[in-house]
Amino acid sequence: MAEAGAAGTAAASGQAPGRQVGRVLGTQDATPLSFWVAIQSGAYLQLDDVVVTARALPGEATVLHSGVVTDVRARHEGAQFASDVFLIEEGVLPAEIQEVAEISVTRVDPELYVPPRPGAPARRAGGDERDAALYFDTMERRVPMGLGRDGVPVYLNFDFLDGSRGAHISVSGISGVATKTSFALFLLYSIFQCGVLGGRAANTKALVFSVKGEDLLFLDRPNTRLDDVGRDSYARLGLPAGPFPSVGIYAPPLAGDLTGRPDVRERTDGVQAFWWTLAEFCEQELLPFAFADAEDDRQQYTMVVAQVASMLRRSGSPAGTDGAWRVDTATLRTFADLVDLVTDKVTAEDTRAQWAGPVTGAGTVNAFLRRLRSAARALARLVRADLPAEAGRRVSTEGQQVTVVDLHNLPERAQRFVVGLLLRAETERKEAAGPGSLLFTMIDELNKYAPREGDSPIKQTLLDIAERGRSLGIILIGAQQTASEVERRVVGMSSIKVVGRLDPAEAGRSEYGFLPVTQRQRATIAKPGTMFVSQPELPVPLAVEFPFPAWATRPAEAGPAPSVGSGAVGTAGRTTGRSAGRSGSRTGGPGRQDPFAGIPHDPPPF
């Protein structure tokens, strides 16, 4: 692979044009969109290499066909039978080995859609030619999203992310090996650090929902396992290798604890507990969010939900300073109190007509109560008025750049409740504030919140974000194991589609139609750290390797906090911590290494 390294360096140093690697062949049709190149002896092409060929047209400028290698094949020419290979290798039968590469054209410049001519020399693109082939030259605002197979940065057009021309990212892949969360976080990091935000940097926020363990609670700590190779990757991408500079972390309150401590095990400081008071719950009519399918028209009891929510608001008033809510003579301090009250009201003969609706039958009321009681267990920790009032308990993205909300300790129903409410609140806040700033919302397991089947308030909120978020400045970064199980419109509205390691059965579904056949096959064997990124300008998704996280993903990796104090909530505008781990970068050689190789037996949780 010495040659590969050399090629990488040559391209990295911006040399152009590249070396000839072969010629357009004529035994397969060459078309303006796809052609094959026979590789000359002593040269090679690998998947994802960028290749250029030129054709001079009479009376016109020379047309440059640029493309990406999407298939490479080698075969014995002169062999007729499979067993001829033994004769050939024994020196009995003369034959030649010929390699050919399929080039999927990414750009024809100028736009004269003529095929390249068989026999025309094809060369590896480097420097400006590579940038032009991949449209990097036309990207006014570009975000580095990793290194290509050739070791040179690959960019994302920010116009298709910030709402100017498109928005939203959809990341799919198998849990555990697809590194979905890591890549999404790296993209966030890159967006915040590469300078593309310009004047909007201060007002641009990220809201990250953490649903799998406490991996995301250390984003503000440098990763002590980041080695020189990793730092070199960050240097090549033009990014500092360090943690997220401004992070606020929220977690639900510890169960059975009446002091309002956050329920996290790995991290002791800088985590803020969050909950909603019963007064908020009643005043803002949050009851529908407690039901998974509250807006499903096929369900009778949804009428009861709306009616009860309305009654709770109209017939009650705040009590005390801790957010309790008084209805008639009863003071509601816990969710159980509320459930008891509602149960009384909808079952008692004299109040049922008012609270459950005039013509509601007992069966429908029971269906409502059954669901309410099962929700009670999940929401008891989150909706309460038995904790001392605290200003910081409201989740807000105001005070810091990245807001992490830890949901992994919550049951699924409670997770949906939190996500739904926070998204609604942020959507309303953004609607009021206007599109001047951006909010990136990162949600894992999107199939839970916006499933293809059924309907719910959370799904409605997500659909709203998917469809209007572009104009509101809310960018959805959704991750899911299977895009086929997520609401079509949510996935469909994503301008940027990313795929990590895919299950072979999943890879065959139509949601991945944007991947060429060979990339679908490759996606089933993709290593951690390799993603295929499709963006609107490029007809071929690009294979990207993103560097090892520069921020800690677990306590064992966490270096000392980079600034005075911790990553506590409310330290707005902290921008220290860039210097962490910068010394020693650029020392790694140009050789291509698996960025995740340093931890073969202990992969980071993705």
Partner 1 sequence: MRFDVDPWDPGYGTALDPDLVLAETAASVNLDVEVPAARWSAVVRPQVPAPSTVLFVDGVRRIDAHVWVRDGEARGGGNGGGGGFGATEGICASYAAGVVASAGQTARLSATEVRRGLFTSAGNATGVTTRTAQYPLRAAAPDGASDVLSLALQGQLAAVEDTAARHAREVIGESDDLLVVDGPLHGRGDLPRTVGLVKTHRATYLPGPQHTLVASLRAAERTPVFLIGTSWQRYSWYLRLPCPVGAPWAGVVRCEASGETTVEAVLGLATRTQVVLPRFASCEYKDARAPQNLYPIAGLERELRRRLGDQALLYRGLRAASVAS
Contact residues for partner 1, defined by CB under 8 A = 78, 80-81, 84, 87-96
The CA–CA distances, whole Å, from 485 to 243, 449, 452 equal 33, 11, 5
**Pick 87 or 254: Cβ nearer partner 1:** 87
Please state the closest distance from residue 88 (CB atom) to partner 1, in A: 7
CA atoms of 384 and 252, how far apart (whole Å): 12
Please state the closest distance from residue 164 (CB atom) to partner 1, in A: 55
Question: Is residue 382 a contact partner of residue 252, using CB atoms and an 8 Å limit?
Answer: yes
CA atoms of 395 and 569, how far apart (whole Å): 10
Please state the closest distance from residue 117 (CB atom) to partner 1, in A: 17
Nearby residues of 599 by Cβ (< 8 Å), 6 or more positions away: 225
**Pick 80 or 510: Cβ nearer partner 1:** 80
CA atoms of 99 and 385, how far apart (whole Å): 72
CA atoms of 345 and 548, how far apart (whole Å): 56
Note the helical H segments in 445-502.
446-449, 457-472, 488-492
**Pick 29 or 89: Cβ nearer partner 1:** 89
**Pick 76 or 326: Cβ nearer partner 1:** 76
**Pick 117 or 313: Cβ nearer partner 1:** 117
**Pick 96 or 398: Cβ nearer partner 1:** 96
**Pick 74 or 348: Cβ nearer partner 1:** 74
CA end-to-end span of the chain, whole Å? 30
Please state the closest distance from residue 30 (CB atom) to partner 1, in A: 19
Q: What is the 3-state secondary structure (H, E, C) of 318-338?
A: EECCCCEEEECCEEECCHHHH
CA atoms of 227 and 221, how far apart (whole Å): 15
**Residue type for 468, please?**
R
CA atoms of 69 and 106, how far apart (whole Å): 10
CA atoms of 531 and 171, how far apart (whole Å): 9
CA atoms of 461 and 420, how far apart (whole Å): 7
Measure CA 346 to chain center. 43
Please state the closest distance from residue 79 (CB atom) to partner 1, in A: 9
Element (H, E) at 96: strand 96-109
Please state the closest distance from residue 475 (CB atom) to partner 1, in A: 58
CA atoms of 514 and 507, how far apart (whole Å): 11
Name the residue among 215, 247, 251, 211 with its Cα closest to residue 553: 215
Name the residue among 442, 389, 155, 446 with its Cα closest to residue 259: 389
**Pick 38 or 197: Cβ nearer partner 1:** 38
**Pick 12 or 95: Cβ nearer partner 1:** 95
**Pick 74 or 597: Cβ nearer partner 1:** 74
Q: At 250, is the secondary structure helix, strand, or coil?
A: strand
Please state the closest distance from residue 119 (CB atom) to partner 1, in A: 15
CA atoms of 100 and 23, how far apart (whole Å): 9
Q: At 175, is the secondary structure helix, strand, or coil?
A: coil
Please state the closest distance from residue 100 (CB atom) to partner 1, in A: 17
**Residue type for 87, please?**
L
Please state the closest distance from residue 218 (CB atom) to partner 1, in A: 57
Please state the closest distance from residue 25 (CB atom) to partner 1, in A: 15
**Pick 90 or 297: Cβ nearer partner 1:** 90
Length of the chain measured in residues: 606
Please state the closest distance from residue 94 (CB atom) to partner 1, in A: 4
Please state the closest distance from residue 21 (CB atom) to partner 1, in A: 23
**Pick 2 or 82: Cβ nearer partner 1:** 82
